[in-house]
Amino acid sequence: MNTQMLKKRREKLAKQLKKDEMLFVFAASEPSYPHYFLQNNNFLYLTGLQIPNAVLVLGKSKDKHLYKIFIERGIPEREVWEGKKMSLAEAKQKSGIEKVLYLDEFERNVDLRLNFTKKCYLNNIQTSLNSPLNKEQSFVRQIRDRFPKILFDDLSEIILPLRTIKEKWEIKQIQKAIDITGKGIKQIYKKAKAGMMEFELEAMLNYEVTKAGLKHLGFKSIIAAGKNAATLHYESNNSKIGKDDLVLLDVGASCNNYSADISRTFPVSGKFTVRQKAVYEEVLNIQKEMIKMIKPGIGFPELNKKTVELITESLKRLNLIKEDKEYKKYYMHSIGHHLGMDTHDIGKRDSVLEVGNVITIEPGIYIPEEGIGVRIEDDILVTKDGYKNLSESIPKEIEELER
């Protein structure tokens, strides 16, 4: 990530702040052993720093913007165990932010400014009555007690227009995540056999991801054989694959915190049964129809409406329903979502597509009583003239799968 790109992002965000408004972005906390560190995506997006516990502060007074980052100070006795903390100089060089200070200077530094602040934007401030406060919410409470006139708003409101339009560099990361996911899927196609456990297929993907130097997946893999594929968020991946099973894969590697999100469904025997083929063809045709509709200006509501129409027709052809409204029994999610640093990326459910959006198109039909679940999911970049399917090279045609 170069600092020019980071600076541009910060400037775009700062432009949306009004006078006497502030923005605080908290990095993720240190994970407890044995979990791995996963940075807060807004913090990473704005600073490029993969360090825990830091805080980015952005303030606006008159026409001047003030950026500061507060980072942890290394404690020599702990550094023996955990390795060296990032230095002030390194944080400055990596983020392109001039003012980097230690966290123990945080309160003294922001106090003065808070006295004149009208509104603060923060991450993760949506809360519920029965869950413990996260660190952003605790911070809000602390400020509320002392500066009761300050208003608060969710950072996603103002960062959303930035993060939903992907830069070239971001598209490259998503593409890399997709390509490596594709490698894993192709290995699975090649090596999967009846009698294997679902987690054996999961391991084939994990091998490709790790071998490519990627640190983690974008989300927990779904490897679902037979009737398991009709459970939408099946993640236990510990059943044996039957000889006539269709296997549904919903997987995605993550590259520099940009996620792929791909679903494929294939017959483990190498041959679809007549019924499986009939269902698969319906889903595949719908998926292709829906991808063709992608262009700037079309909205998710319109795409969802069209999907439901097509699925309803399919379900009637498959003799599964008679009345239109019954479609919900076999199709219960939506056609897709924004994709990016979060697999279900920031972006509104009713958003209208713009050039630079990356979204998923993922229709499915799930028939638990027949042990069949089919979902096909591709990752699509919205372009000036329409779209580019970033996951086009991962086979999904019946002949390809049977081969």
Which of residues 261, 282, 342, 379 is near ligand GLY by CB under 6 A?
Answer: 261
Touching ligand GLY, residues 350-379 (CB under 6 A): 362, 377
Write a three-state SS string for the chain: CCHHHHHHHHHHHHHCCCCCEEEEEECCCCCCCCCCCCCCHHHHHHHCCCCCCCEEEEEEECCEEEEEEEECCCCHHHHHHHCCCCCHHHHHHHHCCCCEEEHHHHHHHHHHHHCCCCEEEECCCCCCCCCCCCHHHHHHHHHHHHCCCCEEEECHHHHHHHHCCCCHHHHHHHHHHHHHHHHHHHHHHHHCCCCCEHHHHHHHHHHHHHHCCCCEECCCCEEEEHHHHHCCCCCCCCCECCCCCEEEEEECEEECCEECCEEEEEECCCCCCHHHHHHHHHHHHHHHHHHHCCCCCCEHHHHHHHHHHHHHHHHHHCCCCCCHHHHHHCCCCCCCCECCCCCCCCCCCCCECCCCCEEEECCEEEEHHHCEEEECEEEEEEECCEEEECCCCCCCCHHHHHC
Amino acid type, 79: E
- Contacting residues toward Mn ion, per CB under 5 A: 250, 261, 360, 377
Touching ligand GLY, residues 318-347 (CB under 6 A): 343
Touching ligand GLY, residues 214-233 (CB under 6 A): 219
For ligand GLY, the closer of residues 175 and 221 by Cβ is 221
Q: How far is the CB of 388 from Mn ion (least distance, A)?
A: 18
Spell out the residues 6+ positions from residue 396 whose beta carbon is closer than 8 angstroms to its own: 264, 284, 287, 376, 378
Q: Which partner in Mn ion, ligand GLY, none is near 245 (CB below 5 to 8 A by kind)? A: none
For ligand GLY, the closer of residues 137 and 389 by Cβ is 389
Q: How far is the CB of 168 from Mn ion (least distance, A)?
A: 23
Q: How far is the CB of 253 from ligand GLY (least distance, A)?
A: 12
For Mn ion, the closer of residues 56 and 230 by Cβ is 230
304 is a site residue for ligand GLY (CB under 6 A): no
Q: How far is the CB of 259 from Mn ion (least distance, A)?
A: 9
Q: Which partner in ligand GLY, Mn ion, none is near 219 (CB below 5 to 8 A by kind)? A: ligand GLY
Q: How far is the CB of 231 from ligand GLY (least distance, A)?
A: 13
Q: How far is the CB of 178 from Mn ion (least distance, A)?
A: 12
Q: Which partner in ligand GLY, Mn ion, none is near 21 (CB below 5 to 8 A by kind)? A: none
Q: How far is the CB of 232 from Mn ion (least distance, A)?
A: 10
Q: Which partner in Mn ion, ligand GLY, none is near 40 (CB below 5 to 8 A by kind)? A: none
- Do residues 368 and 246 lie in contact, with contact meaning Cβ atoms separated by under 8 Å? no
Question: Which is nearest to 350 in space by CA: 338, 333, 358?
Answer: 338
Residue nearest to ligand GLY (CB): 250
For Mn ion, the closer of residues 259 and 312 by Cβ is 259
For ligand GLY, the closer of residues 199 and 219 by Cβ is 219
Q: How far is the CB of 16 from ligand GLY (least distance, A)?
A: 29
Q: How far is the CB of 25 from ligand GLY (least distance, A)?
A: 26
Please count the residues of this chain forming the interface with ligand GLY, following the rule CB under 6 A: 6
For ligand GLY, the closer of residues 245 and 362 by Cβ is 362
- Do residues 344 and 358 lie in contact, with contact meaning Cβ atoms separated by under 8 Å? no
For ligand GLY, the closer of residues 137 and 334 by Cβ is 334
Paired residues of 119 in beta bridges: 21, 151
Phi, psi dihedral angles at 22 (to 5 degrees): -130, 160
Binding mask 237-256 for ligand GLY (x = CB under 6 A): -------------x------
For ligand GLY, the closer of residues 56 and 311 by Cβ is 311
For Mn ion, the closer of residues 137 and 334 by Cβ is 334
| Lookup: tokens for 136 | 């952003």
Q: Which residues make up the interface to ligand GLY (CB under 6 A)?
A: 219, 250, 261, 343, 362, 377
